[in-house]
Amino acid sequence: MKKKTLLLFFICLLALLPERTLADVVAYVQYDNRTLMFKYGEFTPDGKTSWDVRQIKEWFWSRRSGQIEMAVFDPSFSDARPTSCKMWFAGCSNLIAIEGMENLNTSEVTNMQEMFSGCSKLVGLDLSHFNTANVTRMGSMFSGCSGLTSLDVSNFNTANVTSMGSMFSGCFKLSVLDVSNFSTANVTSMGFMFSGCSGMTSLDVSSFNTANVTDMYGMFQNCSGLTRLDVSGFNTKKVTNMGGMFYCCSGLTSLDVSHFNTAKVRTMSKMFYGCSSLTSLDVSNFNVTDVPFLSEMFRDCSNLRTIYCNVA
């Protein structure tokens, strides 16, 4: 009898305790002493020095972005499953290091847009462990990362990505970038993708499937360190904008665009502007009948002696 009474007592006691729900367990960020700490557990963010990770997209620490010098992913964060990394470190111009990246599980992330945009003091990023199978947006992901000298994206699964516009724009210290395994069959935007990557001496985009791309504006703009670039396999049947595509690629000594389908293109302005090392160019397959914008297409191509074109 005493045992039954004691059991009932404990049952009643448990009933009076505050109920814990899954809502109490959150992925959150804390800011302290110029450091962002990513954690996962039972916590109630105050919205002032700590935030629910899902609120990052609203840029809750925008007034502190320039003060952040370090970001740390606590081991507890490995249990979190964020669905968006959009703008997580955007504008963190004084961020010099990110520790514990192995604790970031990106298997359910769909948006990585501007994730590291403007992180001008980051020197290296090893993202070889990132699971990007579900990501659809990578636009401006590394835009303005002007201090990067190494970046490993070689294992990125980009099969579902539709946007790569400005993805690496302004990464002018990168000399090598391996994107040879990128699956680009679903990508529609590649505008400014490598714009300003002036330090790059080699770039393999020969395997890019561009069948659905509509925007190539400024795609290789100011890639002045490249001496060769194989775009001979590019399918451009849907492209409407090629303006400034090779703008100031002053190191290119040859360029094969002879197969380009320009039937839908409306802008070619400054397409080869400043390609001062080219001596010949075959654009005989170009259909410019309905292209209203052709201004300065070959301007400052100072060594260009021969242009093969269709005069029919």
Domain positions in the chain? 24-105
Would you give per-residue pLDDT tens digits along the chain (312 residues)?
A: 555 555 454 445 445 444 444 447 899 999 999 999 999 999 888 877 888 887 765 555 566 788 999 999 999 999 999 999 999 999 999 999 999 999 999 999 999 999 999 999 999 999 999 999 999 999 999 999 999 999 999 999 999 999 999 999 999 999 999 999 999 999 999 999 999 999 999 999 999 999 999 999 999 999 999 999 999 999 999 999 999 999 999 999 999 999 999 999 999 999 999 999 999 999 999 999 889 999 999 999 999 999 998 865
Encoded tokens for 34: 């110029």
* Nearest one of 60, 51, 52 to 90, comparing CA atoms: 60
Question: How far, in Å, CA of 20 to CA of 119, rounded?
Answer: 39
User: SS in 3 state form for 197-243?
Assistant: CCCCCECCCCCCCCCCCCECCCCCCCCCCCCCCCCCCCCCCCCCECC
pLDDT for 46 equals 81
Encoded tokens for 79: 């249990």
Contact 72, 38 (CB under 8 A): yes
Q: CA separation (Å) from 275 to 2, 44, 247, 312?
A: 93, 56, 7, 26
Q: Whole-structure pTM over 0.85, yes or no?
A: yes
